[in-house]
Amino acid sequence: MATPATLTPLCDAQELQERRYAVESTLGTTLAEGESPSPEVLEFFEKYARGEMSLFEVSSSVRTLHGI
């Protein structure tokens, strides 16, 4: 009988905390400069903070989104 696969987190608790801080700092700076990220970019940031995307994946996704 097959059992469901166990997902291994990509990040430990410390790294997740650091990622969340980095996202909040980035958003704070962006908003202070009078800019507002799109909902798509906010979702990329949230996935990064949760450990579901790497910084490279976020960067690549944002570039693709903006045609860069």
**CATH number of residue 59's parent domain:** 1.10.8
Q: Which two tokens stand for residue 50?
A: 């949760």
pLDDT at 28: 96
Residue 35 sits in which domain range? 13-65
**How many domains is the chain partitioned into structurally?**
1
Residue 1 domain flag: no
pLDDT at 11: 83
Ranges under pLDDT 50 in the chain:
1-3
Residue 21 domain flag: yes
* Alpha-carbon gap, residue 8 to 11, rounded angstroms: 9
pLDDT at 9: 58
Cβ-defined contacts of 8-16 (< 8 Å, 24+)? 9/51, 10/51, 10/52, 10/54, 11/51, 15/51, 16/49, 16/50, 16/51
pLDDT at 2: 47
